[in-house]
Amino acid sequence: MLGFFIQRVFQAVIVVVVMSILVFLGVYAIGNPIDVMIDPAATQQIRDTLIRQYGFDRPLWEQYFVFVGNVLQGDFGQSFVYRVPVLDLIFSRLPATFELALGAMLIASVIGIPLGIWAGYRPRAFSSKAIMALSILGFSLPTFWVGLLLVMTFAVQLHWLPSGGRGPTSDILGIPLSFVTPAGWSYIILPAFNLALFNLGLLIRLARAGTLEAMSSDYVRFARAQGLKESKVVGLHVLKNIAIPIVTVFGLEFGSTLAFAVVTETIFNWPGVGKLIIDSIMVLDRPVMVAYLILVVLLFVIINLVVDLLYGVLDPRIRARRAA
């Protein structure tokens, strides 16, 4: 297990290095932030002074190594627009995105997994066909259209829920969170449900496929032959054996939801990292863009590593193969 962990960490380091180069080159090939940062009527002397101040006159490879050296010291630079350290800016928005992504994944899991198991347990029932139709809608409907529809229905016409914003928050260990307040929940429901739709459809189909395969397996037949109740057959045998793909998808999709909640945050004016990156792209705030994308890479690398380690916990056969 230790050898596997070291191997995965080494691979993760290589991935991060390669992706940092691609991110840096990609972001620095987009436009010129000087055109956004200063008045168009500014003199060429002012422009040249600002270019030298930010190091834009250096070769690109030199800018990259300066950036890497600063990152290794925990410095991702300062935002051109907000004039604050980039990490402080991102971390100040991260709690909002984290609780929104967590709420979306909880909705998708609590609803999607039981529905998928039922659809696999009774595949020919009308309810199972209706569940599969629901999963297709979750895949097919555009996020921005569903978000606008939710706002129009529940906020504008019915006046049940607010149309946007984060609402009141309370500090937990110094972190502002809105889900700990009743009013905060009213602000989370619509964006979290909108963000959960794709993952809801994915988990339904994944749980159904796993259940169908498990129900025809020998260990389920043996469990039934022993006289176990159907609830125990499904809960102890079926659910346990479909846990690995569900954990994998949950981990990866949670990372995707956390990193790319851009559309939902924009529609609902949710003050998270996704809205921050959209605003930064509009004004070519390069340090924020680079730091965000590199942190996304780190997030996925860590999630993949954690998921791989969880495999060994969930399936003893995987531990045995790695030990061999």
d(CA 219, CA 237): 8
Tell me what the pLDDT averaged over the chain comes to.
Answer: 81
What pLDDT sits at residue 14?
Answer: 86
Q: What is the dotted CATH code of the domain comprising 93-323?
A: 1.10.3720.10
Report the phi/psi class of residue 173: left, alpha or beta, with left for phi > 0 and alpha for psi in -120 to 50: left
d(CA 52, CA 32): 14
pTM listed for this prediction: 0.76
CATH 1.10.3720.10 domain extents, the chain: 93-323
**Low pLDDT (below 70) residues in the chain:** 1-5, 31, 36, 39-41, 226, 228, 235-237, 309-324
User: Is residue 201 within 8 Å of residue 115, measured between CB atoms?
Assistant: no
Report the phi/psi class of residue 169: left, alpha or beta, with left for phi > 0 and alpha for psi in -120 to 50: beta
What pLDDT sits at residue 10?
Answer: 80
First CA to last CA distance, the chain: 10
User: Is residue 33 within 8 Å of residue 286, measured between CB atoms?
Assistant: yes
User: Is residue 157 within 8 Å of residue 167, measured between CB atoms?
Assistant: no
Of the chain, the percentage scoring pLDDT greater than 70 comes to 86
What pLDDT sits at residue 316?
Answer: 55
What pLDDT sits at residue 191?
Answer: 92
Tokens linked to 29: 């090939």
CB atoms within 10 A of CB 226: 9
What residues contact 108, with CB distance under 8 A and at least 6 apart?
196, 199, 200, 202, 203, 253
E-assigned strand segments in 167-266: 170-172, 175-177
Tokens linked to 218: 């020998």
Could you give the C-alpha distances from 239 to 200, 213, 215, 316, in angstroms and in order? 17, 12, 10, 16
